[in-house]
Structure 1
Amino acid sequence: MPPSCRADRINLHEAGIAEATPSYSELFSQGSISISPDLINKAAEATEGHPFLIQLVG
């Protein structure tokens, strides 16, 4: 089957690590989960800005 017959690709732009870090901080805080800022930064850096990884790591 040619690639044109497959599902449409959705191109998600890369999110910056600087965007993921405060998002993680806010979400963990809302869940009453205490995580050090260093660990939050490491988690954000591990995603390399890829949207699916941001969701997975979070």
Structure 2
Amino acid sequence: MKTTNGIVDVEAALSSIGGDNIPSNVMEVIEGGLPALSALESFVTGLEISEDVSYVFRSQTLSVII
């Protein structure tokens, strides 16, 4: 999920800190509707976003390989 602080790897964040009933992929969000989207937004908003967490990718560290 893209945030102002970088791109959050939700599955990695869930593996790292845990969470109940948090959708980890697009299909789970689609199938779960607004409650799933709300749970995902709350989870991501509550994450610690610091330089040393492994589940956040900064835009300056990403590149496209073709």
- What is the TM-score of this pair, normalised by structure 2? 0.29
Whichever of the two has the greater Rg, that structure is 1
Between structures 1 and 2, the one with greater helix share: 1
Query: Would you tell me which structure has more strand in proportion to its own residues?
Result: 2
TM-score, normalisation: structure 1: 0.31
